[in-house]
Structure 1
């Protein structure tokens, strides 16, 4: 039974009527289809129209429908950063045809509290399905899964380690078959790295969050993760150096690891960014040579470790921008433009769109974040808003005291 049919049936059962009527002279299914395509902030306002609207728009069936219609809404940029004891989330529509004079004013979501005081840092992972998995550094690191839209967070149980020298990095993955989010916690330690027992946790597993052990040969994660069709990918190496020697593939459903070896001649380093290129795993990296080049790899055959490669020479006028040490490759738009952003909020704060085919750069000014200058910022593409409450995964969620 699809989400729309579920919505209609639940409505009829609750109202005891044969014809859903939301006070609009339009078919019920059409109204739901329209509402599933509007931004999350608009849905919050529509919930205040009447008790009936609030009831319908809060049903799990509608939140599921809203998430599945994410490709029908304008893609969003997401800016995540910490300021003192708080985590801030801002979003803005991705510009479709940006020009040099383009500017964006992002809107703020709910503000989230850090688990530890301001003296401790935060590591933020890539958003997935509207959720953010972050690691609050402290005396004991805490892994948190948050929904920027609802302002709710789940603080996961402490990950036990054999000794105090073991470090960890969490990754969020999604199993599209069983519709389950899972958190993979990869452990590693100083040389020699002998940590081969990692941890996996399923969100919403009867709302009892328990870590399970999964085995994999020791390695050092080098990048954020990206989940494509139920496979979580991240670059890694077998030493502390900057070189990437393998791509780790974690099947979220079976919870099995596999590896894609990286040839030495590829010269892939921890500065590379993994991307979803038309459903295939890709990677982008700037060269250190002069003139600067952007190297693009796309995985054509995982079994044979076969990659296609393209090299684009950066226009000389933009070499000083590309050469900045704090510039990060965010990802690639559906139109093939590479998006770049600084890793800290500057004044002015800009993002850059590079068109490899036309060999052009466009700068877009981000306004409204001047009060957070020098904060570490994580910029993400194609953020999918999710209306689901974290209570679906844990009864004891933490909600914000801020709005």
Structure 2
């Protein structure tokens, strides 16, 4: 007698991600069960965190690698040996640069130098190419993106900012415009011009803020159901602000960043222990990580961790916290390195990720939760499936051949 489908789904949702992918090849019944939205929802509630990296080299910009983050391991520096899967999106060589700008529920948002944006599920190998609106295409400056999820409406939203430069004005860079794309609608909607500038670090010298250089604003950080960016407030030129976009109401709010006494060379927004954080690198190569203890309250910024210069001199630049393990060990990344640091014993170790340390130049590293959420459920967009590099047409129809198991 066959087991009930609900019981099969419950059992399969508890096994490792590679085993689930292989299970789709066992029989048609299992394939059908594993393709249902019910299974995707059940699995993601149990799916363990992994580390997703894109170790760019000069020839390939679209190969992603997923490794396991094991809370129980006493040797967290060994995570880079535990490769689970590798993915080749196949977007190169036509697309020379592919950037990851957000990850939610196993879906990732990517954009490339032609200002095309994609939403992709690396596990199912489905992707959606978002329409390119003319304003971003005609912009001479790189856009900034964000990717988030409205749980109450079950909506995924891609947010795009781009700065407009008025060459006739003595002030130069004038304003930012914001657009929102909700998956399933097929169209970009304009939120109009906003009274702040997102990421003027692309235009060094146009603005000068006290105590820091404009190096470090990145794509949106998804925390507490909202997206966040570092921005320049035109009404207050003394300090940068945190811009919060309420994804459900689609309204903005500006909050002050932590105020510091010394000059900050690099500032980056991030998430640490599910809290919004700001990571500062000073001229002395000292890193201070501030966390917002009470979400939305500017007075709740607390200097949580300080890494002194003797530990990070080789890693000067923007530091991005990724994860804190149960024993306090932190996993962090910089422009060139992935490394661990323990605040208690001050131990510090640079990781040779996948044995490709030389190829970690400007790589992306994010905490990633694998899922089986299908992009085919969004009716206004056509979901495509990319295949492995050099994959034969026969193997294209078999999911076992669509994932590189290492």
1:322 aligns with 2:315: yes
Instruction: Tell me the SS of whatever aligns to 1:357.
Output: coil
User: Which residue is equivalent to 1:310?
Assistant: 304
Alignment of 1:172-183 (within 5 A): 172-183=147-158
Change (3 A) 1:385 1:243: farther
Post-superposition Cα deviations, 1:141-160, rounded to whole Å, max 9, x if no partner, equal 11111111111211111122
Work out which of the residue numbers 101, 108, 112 in structure 1 matches 2:89. 112
The answer as to whether partners of 2:50 and 2:68 remain within 8 angstroms in 1 is yes
Post-superposition Cα deviations, 1:51-75, rounded to whole Å, max 9, x if no partner, equal 21111111111111111222xx3x2
State the 1:87 CA deviation.
1.1
State the 1:297 CA deviation.
3.3
Change (3 A) 1:375 1:393: farther
Work out which of the residue numbers 90, 95, 99 in structure 2 matches 1:123. 99
Work out which of the residue numbers 125, 128, 135 in structure 2 matches 1:151. 125
User: Which residue is equivalent to 2:110?
Assistant: 134
Provide TM-score, normalisation by structure 1: 0.78
Instruction: Tell me the SS of whatever aligns to 1:367.
Output: helix
> Which consecutive unaligned segments of at least 5 residues does structure 2 have?
166-170, 200-216, 389-401
Change (3 A) 1:342 1:198: closer
Work out which of the residue numbers 43, 46, 51 in structure 1 matches 2:20. 43
Instruction: Tell me the SS of whatever aligns to 2:134.
Output: coil
> Which consecutive unaligned segments of at least 5 residues does structure 1 have?
1-19, 345-349
1:271 aligns with 2:266: yes
How far apart are the structure 1 equivalents of 2:85 and 2:41?
23
Query: How many residue pairs get matched?
Result: 358
1:227 aligns with 2:218: no
Alignment of 1:176-215 (within 5 A): 176-190=151-165, 192-205=172-185, 209-215=186-192
Change (3 A) 1:165 1:269: farther
How far apart are the structure 2 equivalents of 1:66 and 1:211?
31
The answer as to whether partners of 1:228 and 1:279 remain within 8 angstroms in 2 is yes
User: Which residue is equivalent to 2:288?
Assistant: 294
1:258 aligns with 2:253: yes
Change (3 A) 1:115 1:308: same
The answer as to whether partners of 1:338 and 1:355 remain within 8 angstroms in 2 is yes
State the 1:104 CA deviation.
1.1
How far apart are the structure 2 equivalents of 1:224 and 1:270?
19
The answer as to whether partners of 1:125 and 1:132 remain within 8 angstroms in 2 is yes
